[in-house]
Amino acid sequence: MSILLTIEADVKKFFSNIETVCGQFAAAFVKIFDKAPSAIQMVENFVNTVAPVVVAAVSLAAPTVEPEVAAALATVETGLAAIEATVTATIDGTSLVSALQNFANTVPTLLKGLKVTNATLTAEITKIVNLVVGECAVLIPAAQAWAAQLASSTKA
């Protein structure tokens, strides 16, 4: 089995049974701790789950063969790192919401502008990145609710 097929199988495994990895994490968390995970825990799980998939995808897009794909994936890695840094430093939640929204909006636009020679590789990388962005989009409402909750508790 090629590395690309292995990565694609891993991505499908991550996203099976429950609609999202976020949903899988939340379900497992409730089973173990009898309460829902916080927005911070959900985001940290998201980054920890998808980062290895993106890193593996980067290794597929050899910078010398497909420099634009490799550069786009490096941007995805940077976005994930920014989300993780925001989780660590967040105080009011708005910066976390902004980081998630920025990631979800920027990455698809970046992929649309790629000029590549290997269309098959691009299609596979696009599938992986779209799954990652979809997971990120699921987290935005949770982060917004958490930020609103923080804002209302500081007013009281």
User: pLDDT of 50-61, one tens digit each?
Assistant: 888 777 777 776
pLDDT for the residue numbered 22:
62
Report percent pLDDT > 70 for the chain: 79
The rounded mean pLDDT for the chain is 76
Domain map of the chain by residue range?
Answer: 3-155
Nearest to 54, CA basis, from 78, 73, 67: 73
Looking at residue 87, its pLDDT comes to: 82
pLDDT at position 70 over 70: yes
Token pair of 49, please? 């789950």
CB atoms within 10 A of CB 94: 16
Rounded to two decimals, what is the model's pTM? 0.72
11-33: average pLDDT: 62
Contacts of 149-152 with CB under 8 Å at 24 or more apart are 149/93, 150/92, 150/93, 151/92, 151/93
pLDDT of residue 101: 92
Q: Does the domain formed by 3-155 have CATH 1.10.10?
A: no
The predicted model gives 63-88 an average pLDDT of 81
